[in-house]
Amino acid sequence: MSDDPKLALIVSDSAKAQAGAKSLRDAYAWVSPVDADVLVVLGGDGFLLHVLHEMLDWDFVKPVYGMNLGTVGFLLNGQHDHVPVTQRIAEAHRVPVRPLCMHATTQDGQEFSYHAINEVSLLRETRQTAKLEVRINGRVRMEELAGDGILVATPVGSTAYNLSANGPILPLGSRMLALTPISPFRPRRWKGAILPESAEVEFRIREPGKRPVAAVADQKEVRDVSMVRITATAEKELTLLFDPGYTLEERIFAEQFQV
């Protein structure tokens, strides 16, 4: 009896991914995602994040082994057709990913909840500078931050928008969050903070009518917010699988030494 895991194949609509899937479709006895032990995802980073977000809405969460048939492929493995997928999965390194949960309240009292794997960002909607009150675990830590906005990033997301905003790169497994201002005007010298993953982060918008702010959880946007609360959720923890020697952690190390 074979001990190979049951695999489901999920492929991006891109021509590159569809072409790469041709040789795989007939090589294995693929099953549906609900019956699978592992999801094999072909595409780019954006498509992988799309699949992960879909899983957060399903009643089941499965480990994901991604193969890069997109552009950057930071969250995916390379293509190695000479090594069976089952062997690669059996030897893979497991990386836990704990998503953020964003609870946003709009100026007219509507409430929205979305998950974010990379980051939750607050961004000014107009030319007017955003003004935000920053609370950590219910305590006001900054009465007013003026600038383009602010973001909270996970370790996985710390090399994405967070890094572009001059935020810190967080090692995987650190169970930390990056709190990073976006083009801050006041206070000018504040560079952000590193918070424990257990922290509850809350932003309250000052002068929301004059200075409207949008909240974005990865690709999900809520406009004209008055308050945003962010927590990490252990109940929806995801697992990414990486080839030995090609782990996400190694790529995060490499990002810190690029010149």
User: Which residues are annotated binding-site positions for NAD(+)?
Assistant: 45-46, 50, 118-119, 148, 156, 159-164
Eight-state DSSP code of residue 168? P
The answer to whether residue 45 is catalytic is yes
Q: Is 179 helix (H, G, I), strand (E, B) or coil?
A: strand
Buried b (16+ CB within 10 A) or exposed e, 201-239: bbbbbbebeebbbbbbbbebebebbbbbbbbbeeebebe
Catalytic residue among 37, 45, 108, 224: 45
Among the residues of the chain, which ranges form H helices?
Answer: 15-25, 45-57, 85-90, 161-164, 248-256
Cα 16 to chain centroid, rounded = 24
Q: Find out whether 156 and 118 touch, Cβ atoms under 8 Å.
A: yes
Q: Which residues are annotated as a binding site?
A: 45-46, 50, 118-119, 148, 156, 159-164
The set of catalytic residues is: 45
